[in-house]
Copies of this chain bind each other. A is one copy, B any other.
Amino acid sequence: MSERVAIGLDLGGTKLAGALVDESGAILARREQPTPAREGPGAVISAIAALANDLAGEARAKAREVAGAGLGAPGPLDPATGVVHAMPNLGEEWRRFPLGERLREALGGTSVHLENDANAAMQGEAWIGAAAGARDAVLLTLGTGVGGGIVASGLLVRGSRGAGAELGHVVVEREGRACGCGGRGCLEQYSSGTALARQAGEALARSPGGALAALGRAPTGEDVVAAARKNDELALSVIEAAGRALGVGLTSIVHALNPRVIVLGGGMGTAAFDLLEPIARRELFSRTFEASREGLSIARAKLGPDAGIVGAARSVFLARARAPERGLT
């Protein structure tokens, strides 16, 4: 049995989750609460600190040493400085926010390792999930938006300012839909759960009919997936379009990174994996070199919503292994 544990934390726009994770990746205790996002950074930081302290108490009760805390946060950030560039889902006050430093203060000097939430999820899946054992892997989380994570030669690719692996903003339609990032035609505009709902709504407006029209309300992404499973024609055509766009985005990603495993996660990516994967694979394989796709697999994420917590904990263990003097006990 592992003696050390890390506190893995996952900060979302609506939910704050945390767990004690041991060195094998097992979760020993977990906590979850709403994120007090509307109350501003001070309240959010206090909530994170309280949750972390609660888990630290639990660790003491289990006679485990706490190696440190890791936090996955929903925005581009620099793990080296602990500065968050922005967290749009939590509000404007978080632009260029020194979250690492403020959390360290709130935790009485305990250092906190920050990671972008999708990078943390990639780290989790690469550790004990669908990409375990792969030194080159990518993760796409298809949910409200599309997030991404990259592992190359066994290391997380964070980029020069921590803004790397934004794979939802790979361009799939050059003059396509405007995206919140300022660009056009980003993958996120075609293959997210939000995109599925919007495309179904647009298709219904053009020609109402089928299971989705019978709902009598605007369909959600989940509705589209459920209707597709019942062979609803309109839902199937929306899924086909999303899967093909995903394959186009994956083409650029695969040519750039030559991963061994592509992991599809997030709410929609996990729930609709069996529907989307064959379509995306067909598109991808029709557009790539043999050398790029040799040995390549596309896998459903294994860790579900725990990926970020587990990956954030993994970052703590890895950081300790690299620089033990910076950890905490």
Contacts and interface: CB of A to CB of B under 8 A. Distances in A.
Interface of A: 76, 85-86, 134-136, 148, 150, 152-153, 155, 157-167, 169-174, 181-184, 248, 251-253, 255-260, 286-292, 294-296
Contact of A159 (B158, B162, B182, B258): B258
B183 A288 contact: yes
Contacts of A167: 255-256
B182 A260 contact: no
B255 A169 contact: yes
Contacts of A260: 160
A182 B286 contact: yes
A106 to B, nearest CB: 24
Say what secondary structure dominates the interface of chain A: loop
A19 to B, nearest CB: 27
A294 B259 CA distance: 27
A259 B150 CA distance: 14
Given A86-B290, A159-B292, A164-B256, 14 more contacts: A152-B159, A153-B155, A155-B155, A163-B289, A163-B292, A167-B256, A169-B251, A171-B287, A174-B248, A181-B289, A182-B286, A183-B287, A183-B288, A256-B256
